[in-house]
Homo-oligomer: A and B are copies of this chain.
Amino acid sequence: MDITLASHRGEIPSTVQVVRKPTMRDVADVAGVSLKTVSRVVNMEPGVDDHTAARVEGAIARLAYRRNEVARNLRKGISLALIGLVIEDLANPFYATVARTIEDVARRHGYAVVMASSGEDPEREREVTTGLLQRGVQGLLIVPAGSDHRYLYADRAMRTKAVFLDRPPALVEADSVVLDNIVGARRGVEHLIAHGHRRIAFVGDPPMVQTSVERAEGYRQALKGAGLPVDEALVRLGTPRVDLAEASTRQLLALQDPPTAIFAQNNRNSVGALRAIRALDARVAFVGFDDFELADMLPVPATVVGHDPAEMARAAAELLFGRLAGDQRPPQRIVIPTKLIARGSGEIVPPSPRGVDFSRRLRR
Contacts of A112 in B (CB 8 A): 114-116, 128, 131-132, 135
A70 touches B67 (CB 8 A): no
A50 contacts B by Cβ under 8 Å: no
Q: Measured between alpha carbons, how far is A274 from B298 in the docked complex, in Å? A: 11
Main secondary structure of the interface of A (DSSP, over half): mixed
Q: Measured between alpha carbons, how far is A96 from B72 in the docked complex, in Å? A: 33
B136 touches A69 (CB 8 A): yes
Q: Measured between alpha carbons, how far is A69 from B155 in the docked complex, in Å? A: 13
B96 touches A42 (CB 8 A): no
A80 touches B91 (CB 8 A): no
B67 touches A158 (CB 8 A): yes
Contacts of A57 in B (CB 8 A): 156
Q: Measured between alpha carbons, how far is A284 from B6 in the docked complex, in Å? A: 72
Q: Measured between alpha carbons, how far is A103 from B79 in the docked complex, in Å? A: 24
B64 touches A70 (CB 8 A): no
Q: Of B132, B155, B293, B299, which one neighbours A299 at CB under 8 angstroms?
A: B299
A97 contacts B by Cβ under 8 Å: yes
A348 contacts B by Cβ under 8 Å: no
Contacts of A131 in B (CB 8 A): 112
A241 contacts B by Cβ under 8 Å: no
Closest to A110 in B: B131
A43 contacts B by Cβ under 8 Å: yes
A157 contacts B by Cβ under 8 Å: yes
Closest to A93 in B: B93
Contacts of A133 in B (CB 8 A): 69
Q: Measured between alpha carbons, how far is A90 from B98 in the docked complex, in Å? A: 9
Closest to A101 in B: B91
Contacts of A128 in B (CB 8 A): 107, 112
Q: Measured between alpha carbons, how far is A131 from B114 in the docked complex, in Å? A: 13
Q: Measured between alpha carbons, how far is A43 from B157 in the docked complex, in Å? A: 7
Q: Measured between alpha carbons, how far is A298 from B44 in the docked complex, in Å? A: 57
Q: Of B78, B107, B297, which one neighbours A116 at CB under 8 angstroms?
A: B107
Known contacts A71-B74, A100-B91, A136-B73; is A82 also within 8 Å of B293 by CB?
Answer: no
Q: A residues within 8 Å of B by Cβ?
A: 41-44, 57, 60-61, 64-74, 78-82, 89-93, 96-97, 99-100, 103-104, 107, 112-117, 128, 131-136, 155-160, 271, 274-275, 278, 292-294, 297-299
